[in-house]
Amino acid sequence: MNRWVIASRPKTMTAAIAPVLLGSALAYYEGAFDIITFFVILIAACLIQIGTNLTNDLFDYIKGADNNNRLGPKRAMQAGLILEPEMKRAIFIVFSLSICFGFYLALLGGWLIVGIGLLSILFAILYTGGPYPLAYNGLGDIFVFIFFGLIAVSGTYYLYTDYFSINSFILGSSAGCLATAILVVNNLRDIDNDKAYGKNTLAVYFGKKFTQFEYLLLMIIVYIIPIYISIDLGNKASIYIVYFTLPICIRLIIDIFYKKNSMLNETLEATAKLLLLYSLLLSFGIVV
């Protein structure tokens, strides 16, 4: 099982869990929370995340981006742990399971949720696969912000309430910015290897300085959003508990400007942890 754990990349699960927490917390605040719906959304979101990771492992290996020069953690196919036919079967199984859980969500949310679910799977594949892979053409950051932020949080909220709200999109922006920040660290670390193998991320297009300041801007936005949410919910002071994570953020910003190459693996992992902690505290602040 260890090879499949490596392939599924459990440390990235924060990107799937965080939006569900935020959308559910906002729904709870409005008296629309349901525990069964929460767990079904959470399972479906994690399955799509795992399917995305497996797909990335497959296509990055095929395209040569995952190679022995790569500075990040080893990938399953790169390390020879999983063969291509096995990986393709696993991708089919995981996405099929996500659709099974999606049937229940479709009963709640109708065709709109069907569309969101199918688009999520489609773009999970197109992220590194297909004739115009998003991650190889500078569109990865936009994809992550939209699907792991705006759509994930507002879609979760919609499943409880049957409508969207401005706050669900604002909260989605916070999750999207932090999820994108994880990708930014990854792209900064791999900039030289990606350039060599034709993976044209924004970091490759615009360089290291741009990437560092992109990370800084994302973090600034993330810590402005709770102020808006607090004011909009009637100056709800409990939301400011999220600022206990600010020292972690400052440390990470310093790291992004001074750490290089494989040292950024620690920054990558810490950014993923920040996403989960930030979402937990912000959700707690909304609920209490």
10 confidence band (pLDDT: 50, 70, 90): confident
Q: Where are the domains of the chain?
A: 2-287
Beta-bridge partner residues of 156: none
Least confident of 126-130, 175-179, 183-187, 281-285: 126-130
Beta-bridge partner residues of 200: 137
Cβ burial of 247 (10 Å; 0-12, 13-18, 19+) is: exposed
101 confidence band (pLDDT: 50, 70, 90): very high
Above 80 in pLDDT, residue 206? yes
Chain segment 228-266, per-residue pLDDT in tens: 999 999 889 999 999 999 999 999 999 999 998 888 999
- Cβ–Cβ contacts within 10 Å for residue 76, how many? 26
CATH 1.10.600 fits 2-287, yes or no: yes
Beta-bridge partner residues of 137: 200
Say whether 148 sits in a helix, a strand or coil: helix
Residue 176's nearest CA partner among 9, 22, 11, 7 is 22
pLDDT for the residue numbered 154:
95
pLDDT for the residue numbered 68:
67
